[in-house]
């Protein structure tokens, strides 16, 4: 996964790579953007980062899967530590934008491990119950993998 510093126009606002990765590991949700013949499609999603792959769960059919089938290129964005600075007409923030390609995960082993990783991130005290939920619903749950090709991070802090 390439940290693309050139993707940030204002280099004085470049987020440190280690902080960008930390934000990808800890953010509660992100926004997946896809191109479709009907125009753009974006959706907020829970996710988990494993290595250089971001995993999401999904329904087995729908607009998101149709869009991925037509064009697997995607952008994914997370935002952290936002604070509106009203008197300055601005905001402080951190954000990370990932570019890559999305695929539907076919193998059961990878699907189950991705779902377990989601449980570990969002419900860490419920691993046993999570395994039971996965066993009950894996036949009706799609897992999507965004293979990260590049990412960049940006921040603004009032000094």
- Alpha-helical segments (H) within 1-159: 17-26, 63-70, 108-122, 127-137
Question: What's the DSSP call for residue 28?
Answer: S
The Cα 97–Cα 66 span in angstroms is 23
Structure tokens at 60: 């087995």
pLDDT at site 135: 93
What is the full DSSP assignment across 33-70? EEEETTEEEEEEE--EEETTEEEEEE-SSSHHHHHHHH
| Residue 29 pLDDT level (bands cut at 50, 70, 90) | very high
Contact 117, 71 (CB under 8 A): no
**Stretch (H or E) spanning 138:** none
| Res. 117: pLDDT tops 90 | yes
Tens digit of each residue's pLDDT (9 = 90 or more) over 39-95:
889 999 999 999 999 999 999 999 999 999 999 999 999 999 889 999 989 899 999
| CATH of 2-127+140-156 given 2.70.40.10, 3.40.50.300, 2.30.110.10, 3.30.160.20 | 2.30.110.10
- Relative to beta strand 39-45, strand 48-50 is unpaired
What's the confidence (pLDDT) of residue 4?
A: 86
* pLDDT tens-digit series, residues 134-157: 999 988 999 999 999 999 999 998
pTM above 0.85, yes or no: yes
Which residues are bridge partners to 102 per DSSP? 146
Instruction: Give the start-to-end residue ranges of the domains of the chain.
Output: 2-127+140-156
Could you tell me if 75 and 97 are in contact, meaning their C-beta atoms sit under 8 angstroms apart?
yes
* pLDDT band for position 120 (cuts 50, 70, 90): very high
CA dist., res. 31 & res. 70, Å (int): 19
């Amino acid at each position: 996964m390439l940290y693309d510093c050139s993707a940030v126009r204002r280099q004085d606002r470049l987020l440190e790579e280690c902080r960008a990765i930390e934000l990808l590991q800890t953010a509660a949700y992100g926004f997946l953007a896809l191109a479709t013949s009907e125009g753009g499609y974006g959706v907020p999603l829970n996710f988990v980062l494993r290595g250089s792959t971001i995993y999401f769960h999904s329904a087995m059919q729908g607009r998101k899967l149709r869009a991925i089938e037509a064009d697997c290129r995607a952008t994914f964005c997370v935002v952290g530590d936002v604070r509106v600075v009203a008197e300055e007409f601005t905001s402080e923030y951190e954000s990370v934008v990932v570019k890559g390609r999305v695929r539907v995960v076919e193998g059961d082993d990878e699907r189950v491990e991705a779902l377990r990783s989601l449980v570990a991130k969002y419900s860490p005290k419920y691993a046993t119950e999570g395994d039971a939920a996965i066993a009950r619903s894996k036949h009706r749950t799609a897992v999507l993998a965004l293979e990260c090709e590049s990412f960049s991070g940006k921040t603004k802090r009032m000094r």
